[in-house]
Amino acid sequence: MNLMKILLINKFYFLKGGAEKQFFDVKKLLEDHGHQVIVFSMQHEKNLPSPYSKYFVSKVDFEHVRFDWQGLRTAARMFYSIEARRKLDQLIHDHKPDVAHIHNIYHHISPSILPLLKKHRIPIVQTLHDYKLICPHYSLYSHGEICERSKGHNYWRCAIHKCVKNSLLASTLTALEMYFHKMTHIYEDNVDVFISPSKFLMDKLREWEAPVIEMIHMKNFFQANPSSPAINGEYLLFYGRLSEEKGIDLLLDAVKGLDIPVKIAGSGPDETVLREKARRENISNVEFLGFVEGENLQRLIVNSGAVIVPSQWYENCPLVILEAFAYGKPVLGTRVGGIPELIEDGKTGMLFDLGDVAGMREAIQSVMSDKVLRQRMGEASRNEAQKYLPEKYYSKLVSLYESLQSHNF
């Protein structure tokens, strides 16, 4: 395989969520194999150091857009960023990348960069992390439930139902953004191949007639850790963002009164509410640990008995599941989105239906009360983790890059 200059683009250059975790993992994977990775992102006080930061677009805050001149300028950037196009043009001129691999760019960078890349005859690959190509609300989750109101390109429904942040302004802006990008064909005319980490996401995009020409299925990867000890712990672990769509509220209902220790690691907008619920309802078997990362998080996973993913939205390909498998842990998860593609019910974990608290409770009791079952599932999970090794992903990814290069030139 020829060594290449690969341009990786993502709107955040720090570990904000799962999309950024995969972005940085891909970056390291490519660099470990000798490729030069050039990055383009947005300036932010949390950013990791980068020799390319001088090219990054200026920071913009979409949390507090107001009806004034500055607010209108900020909103306009969602549709088309002249600054992003100008700065990327300079980066391309200075470093001449062979391939562009895009992750999340909406709002902060915008797809205005796509025609520029095409103009420079740079092949474009985009990994999809959510549903932004088909819906103004990227998670297809609003007002406490899965939402498909905008299906059929009816983005106006997002506005009238205030699906984004329960805000008429935010919802209207994102709906208009969708109409603008659909009208200009900016994705379908410029992106060569979309990568979908789950078959569910791929099927949903096709069902909604997404603006894609070619799409391939490539599951995410995670580096297994064969040196980690095979500990069959006694507590159930949730780790991740504490927000409504993650289903922690239902998890609290499911474990209330059980003689099973539950540890919840993470922070987010619902943390205070969840802590208060546990205190108010005397759910004494649950321990909130706050934000945990690095070796401390690794120890938490290694010493757990099982990991739970009680999500209430269309998860794509959660890295939490792959990570738990790598450490030989059974995973209990909701039968929704891409989760059932990863967990084999009864073998590498257990599945329960969306919103089914009784079913979740039964799954938790079945696994956590049977140490022999946990051990058997843990061994199966560790074997399953071999399917998601970095080398397998790397081979497919670089083959895709090379095929696009030969096609374009």
Q: In CATH, what number is assigned to the domain containing residue 16?
A: 3.40.50.2000
Look at residue 223 in the predicted model and tell me its pLDDT: 76
Are residues 201 and 87 part of one domain?
A: yes
Are residues 116 and 259 part of one domain?
A: no
Look at residue 329 in the predicted model and tell me its pLDDT: 95
Q: How far is CA 254 from the centre of its chain?
A: 26
Are residues 196 and 256 part of one domain?
A: no
Which three-class secondary structure state does DSSP give residue 125? strand
Pairing outcome for strands 306-309 and 331-334: parallel
Tell me, what amino acid is at 95?
H
Beta bridge partners of 102: 9, 126
Q: Is the separation of the CB atoms in 156 and 52 below 8 Å?
A: no
Q: Is residue 259 a part of any domain in this protein?
A: yes
Q: Is the separation of the CB atoms in 76 and 10 below 8 Å?
A: no
Tell me, what amino acid is at 10?
N
Are residues 266 and 399 part of one domain?
A: no
How crowded is residue 320: how many other Cβ atoms within 10 Å of its Cβ?
Answer: 23
User: How does pLDDT run along the chain (409 residues), one tens digit per residue?
Assistant: 689 999 999 999 999 888 999 999 999 999 999 999 999 999 999 999 999 999 999 998 766 555 444 556 677 778 889 999 999 999 999 999 999 999 999 989 999 999 999 999 999 999 999 999 999 999 999 999 999 999 999 999 999 999 998 888 888 889 999 999 999 999 999 999 999 999 999 999 999 998 888 999 999 998 766 566 678 899 999 999 999 999 999 999 999 999 999 999 999 999 999 999 999 999 999 999 999 988 999 999 999 999 999 999 999 999 999 999 999 999 999 999 999 999 999 999 999 999 999 999 999 999 999 999 999 999 999 999 999 999 999 999 999 999 998 876 5
Which three-class secondary structure state does DSSP give residue 331? strand
Beta bridge partners of 309: 333
Are residues 59 and 203 part of one domain?
A: yes
Which three-class secondary structure state does DSSP give residue 7? strand
Look at residue 226 in the predicted model and tell me its pLDDT: 58
Q: Is residue 138 a part of any domain in this protein?
A: no
Q: Which of 101, 134, 104 is nearest to 17 (CA)?
A: 104
Are residues 209 and 79 part of one domain?
A: yes
Look at residue 162 in the predicted model and tell me its pLDDT: 94
Are residues 45 and 193 part of one domain?
A: yes
Distance, in Å, from the CA atom of 371 to the CA atom of 375, rounded to the nearest integer, reads: 6
Are residues 384 and 248 part of one domain?
A: yes
Look at residue 68 in the predicted model and tell me its pLDDT: 47
**146-196 pLDDT per residue, tens:** 999 999 999 999 999 999 988 888 888 899 999 999 999 999 999 999 999
Number of domains in the chain: 2
Look at residue 67 in the predicted model and tell me its pLDDT: 47
**266-276 pLDDT per residue, tens:** 999 999 999 99
Q: Is residue 46 a part of any domain in this protein?
A: yes
Are residues 96 and 32 part of one domain?
A: yes
Which three-class secondary structure state does DSSP give residue 297? helix
Q: Is residue 231 a part of any domain in this protein?
A: no
Look at residue 178 in the predicted model and tell me its pLDDT: 92
Look at residue 218 in the predicted model and tell me its pLDDT: 95
Q: Is residue 160 a part of any domain in this protein?
A: no
Q: Is residue 368 a part of any domain in this protein?
A: yes
Q: Is residue 156 a part of any domain in this protein?
A: no
Are residues 401 and 257 part of one domain?
A: no
Pairing outcome for strands 145-146 and 99-102: unpaired
Q: Is residue 33 a part of any domain in this protein?
A: yes
State the residue range of the domain holding 316.
Answer: 236-388
Are residues 304 and 400 part of one domain?
A: no
